[in-house]
Amino acid sequence: MLGRVILVAWVASTLGLTACEREPEPPAPRIKQVFHLNPYEKDFGYSQAVLIDKTLYISGSVAADQSGRLVAVGDMAGQMRAAYSNIRRTLAAHGAGFDEVVKETIYTTNMDALLKASDLRFEYYDKERLPTTSWVQVQRLVDPGFLVEIEVVAELP
């Protein structure tokens, strides 16, 4: 009986040591997919969005048309709508909408104007399901005519 107990203990300890010596399985590679909304983005040196797993990171979107030209000059509400329109197009290209946005950062050169126009966000977001949001005033954006730039992170279904 004692011999059997010793044998079982030896087998258990040997199997335990063998299990500890195995290399852990490497994690599955995370594939980075780059997305360009407009052709000029490559020339300018950025991606409109990057998808990793089910997380979509959308670059700061501004009031620019498909050629990269500023729209809604001097109009905060107009520029916000244009930026959200570009975000909507990027989300739609990935089978998503504003319901999937979990984080939003808004950069502005004029916080007072942003505050006055902020209710138009509810044209895009459900008031009961808002993303986390940060609003930041900056000295200027890449084009001095831009009043607002909006970046978001979305979790795809």
136 lies in some domain: yes
10 lies in some domain: no
132 lies in some domain: yes
93 lies in some domain: yes
20 lies in some domain: no
CATH number at residue 61: 3.30.1330.40
Contacts of 56 (CB under 8 A, 6+ apart): 49, 50, 90, 91, 94, 96, 100, 153, 154, 155, 156
Q: What global pTM score does this model have?
A: 0.79
Provide the residue range defining the domain that includes 129.
31-155
Q: Count of domains in the chain? A: 1
14 lies in some domain: no
pLDDT per position in the chain (157 positions), as tens?
555 545 445 455 555 545 556 788 877 777 777 777 766 667 777 778 889 999 999 999 999 988 888 999 999 999 999 999 999 999 999 999 999 999 999 999 999 999 999 999 999 999 999 999 999 999 999 999 999 999 999 999 8
Angular region, 45: left φ>0, alpha ψ -120 to 50, beta rest? left
19 lies in some domain: no
97 lies in some domain: yes
